[in-house]
């Protein structure tokens, strides 16, 4: 794998344009009745046509056999080695809701939860309270006073919130208080490195005060914190690729991930149709476009094979809007597989389609997992997708003399 | 490639079971008359059926073009990077005969050999004396006294023995005394690092005394030593994968290799049929089973194409015993190729078959080198086999948020 520093040295700015369409959780597993995956079941005339004129393959987001979270999955797509660049869950949440994290801020992902009269966790999601209710409770918690530390408590969605501590010397090496199961008490925050003792003490103090404040509330009477983390130092896509990159996405996490690699963020409210309208609107101002479709992953996570098929078909129907812009390079792929059969992210390699005037087309007659097995891109790590896109956009000069 | 430390963090214990059937030296080269390899020539209805329902590929044990020894070949299969973890030949021999090496013991592989009246090596294997004779001679050598060092001389098989020195400050950086050819004198042990000078002196003293003791013996009148080494620090499969791993193997080296990664060892005396009976007997007590078939490799090394074909057919015939146990994941592969045409280990990638309920089946219609070329696993490093097996057994959680 080529390192970012080497890419930086050979990348050049140019007018050519790259569109990366990420269909979240795209890869699937065959339905037992038909032997076809979601992508193979869907009627996708435009994607198939693009595959016939392009080159296909299968990529491993992290490493063969490894199921990626959304963070590593997307970092790899943007060309960042997910082993080298890790983004904590707290930071992801902060970026996702547009919270302006400062360099030394400590961020955590919070859940409102329900504890029973013995203090045992009965529901890790507090019955999925509404976002409005969440906002109301966050405002209460935001009034907690901690010595030498400013704190911010912001609602994310449903029962989820963001906690940010701003102060001196707050190393993030602290264990989660969310035990990830019910029937036990919330864990105490513990320093996993000696220098984080102070952070752990402050967090436990915060949790104690929060429990007092929430005591009267019916379902959301306690909090769980996890993913204590700080902004990572990641060189931007502008620095590395000399791209003016923009993200068109609807969900906080993906906007956050794009932001951490320096993309401009354009808020999408509707589905793929609206995202592609935004793409058309901003097309002249950028040269790299990350378009994110979330619903395939949600359908996969829900185990809804048919819905995942339908979302893929919706994307395919909308595709002409993208094709009409005639981007120099089009990448269609996912950040990982989410087979409806497994109801969750999986380790299966992800179909990749690359179209450009300069690709060497293979024999793929359509866009599907099975066609990708024998595609010209072979099986390769997802971090190689960006160098391939850059090359096909003629934005990379020679390596070495 | 994902590091063991990262696997350790995402692996979970679960009741699912993985069987890894290693057909030693499995990969071959086409017979000039038929154009078919040993595996392609063999009638293997059960393996073909498994391939149709599973996923196939080709793996490189060490790196493309590199011919692995049995050590690196097996370490890679168990998921240990063979560049990072090296096991000396001496240590392998010790583990293989169940000698309880201590942390600082220095182990060496010994050969009884024949030298002529001028001291030149006439036969590096002393006419392959019997194991009984070897044991008798080892007992004589075991009586040698060296200052400040305890020594152990143990028969292995035929002309092969194990030498272990136990004492303070015995670094293993000493060159082999086996020149690997006849017609020359045995080499003197030389320190390859200054701090191993003492070790070399002691070894040369031992060899001198041994020569005196063996002088009267007809064929086995000298010894050759090689592979000076110490127990490596390798985290166990229990630690990394949270598996209760067991090895079912017949030959010392493979039992030794399994032991060094922390597997329990079950001794097989007969062929594959008996190995699979042992598998069935211990099936409830473990969740990872390494079953080793040696005879394919031996036939390949002897250049006996037909015998290698026959052994593969024997394995296939016995396979139902394994299939009846309904393991969650079945891996069938080799630790390297041993084409009969080459009469030795080779660099050719090795056919891999993975079957599980959760694999994404490919179009392979049988288990063969040529079907594996276009299999869904693609061509990949053998160290990725374990993560894939673990993933398919649903024993790996998500990597990253």
What is the per-residue DSSP string for B305-334? HHHHHHHHHHHHHHHHHHHTT--SEEEEE-
Predicted confidence band of residue B218 (pLDDT cuts 50, 70, 90): confident
Which chain B residues are within 8 Å of A72, Cβ to Cβ?
A: 399-400
DSSP state of A401: -
Q: What is the pTM of this model?
A: 0.89
* Structure-block tokens of residue B216: 């009267």
- Alpha carbon of A173: minimum distance to chain B alpha carbons (Å): 16
Report, as an integer, the average pLDDT of A243-271: 91
- Alpha carbon of A370: minimum distance to chain B alpha carbons (Å): 7
pLDDT at position B295 is 96
Name which residue leads in pLDDT, A98 or B226.
B226
pLDDT at position B252 is 81
pLDDT at position B32 is 96
Residue A65 is nearest to which of B360, B376, B391, comparing CB atoms? Answer: B391
pLDDT in tens, A79-118: 999 999 988 889 988 987 879 899 899 999 999 999 999 9
Please name the residues in contact with A220: beta carbons below 8 A apart, sequence gap of 6 or more.
Answer: A112, A113, A114, A126, A127, A129, A133, A134, A137, A159, A214
Distance CA(B223)–CA(B215), nearest Å, equals 11
Residue A67 is nearest to which of B6, B389, B391, comparing CB atoms? Answer: B391
Inspect the interface and report whether the beta carbons of A347 and B397 lie closer than 8 Å: no
Inspect the interface and report whether the beta carbons of B400 and A68 lie closer than 8 Å: yes
Please give the full DSSP string across A84-143, using - where no structure is assigned.
Answer: T----HHHHHHHHTT----TT-EEEEEEEEEE-TTS-EEETTTTT--HHHHHHHHHHHTT
φ, ψ dihedrals at A30, nearest 5°:
-65, 140
Which domains are delineated in chain B? 4-87+234-392 (3.40.720.10), 92-229 (3.30.70)
- Alpha carbon of B375: minimum distance to chain A alpha carbons (Å): 7
φ, ψ dihedrals at A329, nearest 5°:
-135, 135
pLDDT in tens, B34-80: 999 999 999 999 999 999 999 999 999 999 999 998 889 999 999 99
Distance CA(B49)–CA(B330), nearest Å, equals 13
Which chain A residues are within 8 Å of B377, Cβ to Cβ?
A: 64, 379
Residue A69 is nearest to which of B6, B374, B399, comparing CB atoms? Answer: B399
Task: Please work out, in degrees rounded to the nearest 5, the angle formed at the alpha carbon of residue B127 by the alpha carbons of B124 and B128.
Answer: 90
Does B1 have pLDDT greater than 80? Answer: no
Distance CA(B367)–CA(B21), nearest Å, equals 14
Which chain A residues are within 8 Å of B387, Cβ to Cβ?
A: 63-66, 347
Residue A64 is nearest to which of B360, B375, B388, comparing CB atoms? Answer: B388
ipTM over 0.85: yes
Residue B288 to residues A194, B19, B178, B240, B274, Cα–Cα distance (Å): 38, 6, 38, 13, 18
Q: Is A14 exposed, middle or buried (0-12, 13-18, 19+ CB in 10 A)?
A: middle
Distance CA(A187)–CA(A120), nearest Å, equals 11
Does A188 have pLDDT greater than 90? Answer: yes
* Structure-block tokens of residue B184: 């020359």
Count other Cβ atoms within 10 Å, centred on residue A188: 11
pLDDT in tens, B302-343: 999 999 999 999 999 999 999 999 999 999 999 999 999 999
How many CA atoms lie within 13 Å of A14's alpha carbon, on the beta-carbon side?
16
Inspect the interface and report whether the beta carbons of A65 and B400 lie closer than 8 Å: no
CB within 8 Å of chain A, chain B residues 108-127: none
Inspect the interface and report whether the beta carbons of B374 and A370 lie closer than 8 Å: no
Does A401 have pLDDT greater than 90? Answer: no
Q: Is B235 exposed, middle or buried (0-12, 13-18, 19+ CB in 10 A)?
A: middle
Distance CA(B244)–CA(B237), nearest Å, equals 8
pLDDT in tens, B200-211: 999 999 999 999
Q: Which of the residues A65, A68, A81, A378 would you substitute to probe the B interface, choosing the one with the greatest number of B C-beta atoms within 10 Å?
A: A65
Distance CA(A2)–CA(A4), nearest Å, equals 7
* Contact predicate A55/A375, CB 8 Å: yes
The helix/strand/coil state of A151 is strand
The answer, for B360 touching chain A at a CB cutoff of 8 Å, is: yes
Inspect the interface and report whether the beta carbons of B401 and A71 lie closer than 8 Å: yes
Rounded to the nearest integer, the mean pLDDT of chain B is 95
Inspect the interface and report whether the beta carbons of A345 and B386 lie closer than 8 Å: no
The answer, for B12 touching chain A at a CB cutoff of 8 Å, is: no
The answer, for B384 touching chain A at a CB cutoff of 8 Å, is: yes
Q: Is B180 exposed, middle or buried (0-12, 13-18, 19+ CB in 10 A)?
A: exposed
Name which residue leads in pLDDT, A401 or B5.
B5
Residue A146 to residues A166, A176, B247, Cα–Cα distance (Å): 11, 20, 57
Distance CA(B399)–CA(A120), nearest Å, equals 28
Number of cross-chain residue pairs from A and B with Cβ atoms under 8 Å apart: 91
Residue B360 is nearest to which of A65, A71, A348, comparing CB atoms? Answer: A348
Residue A62 is nearest to which of B358, B375, B399, comparing CB atoms? Answer: B399
Which chain A residues are within 8 Å of B363, Cβ to Cβ?
A: 370, 373
Predicted confidence band of residue B251 (pLDDT cuts 50, 70, 90): confident
Inspect the interface and report whether the beta carbons of B2 and A30 lie closer than 8 Å: no
Inspect the interface and report whether the beta carbons of A69 and B400 lie closer than 8 Å: yes
pLDDT at position A237 is 98
Inspect the interface and report whether the beta carbons of B3 and A83 lie closer than 8 Å: yes
Inspect the interface and report whether the beta carbons of B386 and A348 lie closer than 8 Å: no
Inspect the interface and report whether the beta carbons of B6 and A227 lie closer than 8 Å: no
Which chain B residues are within 8 Å of A70, Cβ to Cβ?
A: 401
Which chain B residues are within 8 Å of A227, Cβ to Cβ?
A: 401
- Alpha carbon of B1: minimum distance to chain A alpha carbons (Å): 6
Residue with tokens 């120099």: A328
Inspect the interface and report whether the beta carbons of A66 and B399 lie closer than 8 Å: yes
The answer, for B146 touching chain A at a CB cutoff of 8 Å, is: no
- Alpha carbon of A326: minimum distance to chain B alpha carbons (Å): 32
φ, ψ dihedrals at B395, nearest 5°:
-110, 10
CB within 8 Å of chain B, chain A residues 217-236: 227
pLDDT at position A216 is 84
Report, as an integer, the average pLDDT of B373-398: 97
Task: Please work out, in degrees rounded to the nearest 5, the angle formed at the alpha carbon of residue B165 by the alpha carbons of B208 and B207.
Answer: 10
pLDDT in tens, B340-357: 999 999 999 999 999 999
pLDDT at position A397 is 97
**Longest C-alpha distance within chain A, in Å?**
72
* Structure-block tokens of residue A360: 């060497």
Distance CA(B161)–CA(B154), nearest Å, equals 6
């Amino acid at each position: 794998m080529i390192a970012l520093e080497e890419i930086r040295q050979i990348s050049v700015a140019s007018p050519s344009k790259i569109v990366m369409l990420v269909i979240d959780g795209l890869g699937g597993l065959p339905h037992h009745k038909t032997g076809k995956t979601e992508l193979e079941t869907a009627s996708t005339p435009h994607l198939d046509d693009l595959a016939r004129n392009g080159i296909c393959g299968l990529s491993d987001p992290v490493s063969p056999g490894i199921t990626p979270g959304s963070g590593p999955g997307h970092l790899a797509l943007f060309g960042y080695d997910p082993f080298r660049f890790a983004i904590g869950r707290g930071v992801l949440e902060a970026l996702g809701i547009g919270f302006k994290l400062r360099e030394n801020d400590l961020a955590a992902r919070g859940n409102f939860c329900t504890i029973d009269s013995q203090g045992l966790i009965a529901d890790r999601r507090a019955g999925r309270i509404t976002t409005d209710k969440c906002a109301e409770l966050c405002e209460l918690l935001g009034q907690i006073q901690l010595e030498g530390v400013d704190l911010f408590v912001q609602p994310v969605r449903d029962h989820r919130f963001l906690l940010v501590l701003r102060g001196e010397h707050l190393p993030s090496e602290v264990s989660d208080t969310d035990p990830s199961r019910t029937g036990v008490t919330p864990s105490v925050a513990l320093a996993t490195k000696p220098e984080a003792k102070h952070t752990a003490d402050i967090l436990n103090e915060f949790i104690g005060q929060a429990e007092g404040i929430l005591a009267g509330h019916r379902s959301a009477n306690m909090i769980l914190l996890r993913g204590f983390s700080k902004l990572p130092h990641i060189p931007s896509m502008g620095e590395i690729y000399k791209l003016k990159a923009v993200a068109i996405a609807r969900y906080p996490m993906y906007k956050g991930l794009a932001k951490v690699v320096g993309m401009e963020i354009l808020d999408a409210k509707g589905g793929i149709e609206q995202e592609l309208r935004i793409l058309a609107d901003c097309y002249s101002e950028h040269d790299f476009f990350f378009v994110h479709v979330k619903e395939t992953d949600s359908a996969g996570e829900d185990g809804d094979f048919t819905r995942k098929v339908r979302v893929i078909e919706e994307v395919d129907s909308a595709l002409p809007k993208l094709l009409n812009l005639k981007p120099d390079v089009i990448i269609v792929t996912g950040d990982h597989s989410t087979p409806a059969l497994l109801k969750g992210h999986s380790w299966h390699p992800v179909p990749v389609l690359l179209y450009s005037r300069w690709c060497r087309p293979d024999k793929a007659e359509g866009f599907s997992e099975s066609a990708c097995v024998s595609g010209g891109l072979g099986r390769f790590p997802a971090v190689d997708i960006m160098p391939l896109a850059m090359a096909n956009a003629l934005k990379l000069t020679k390596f070495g003399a």
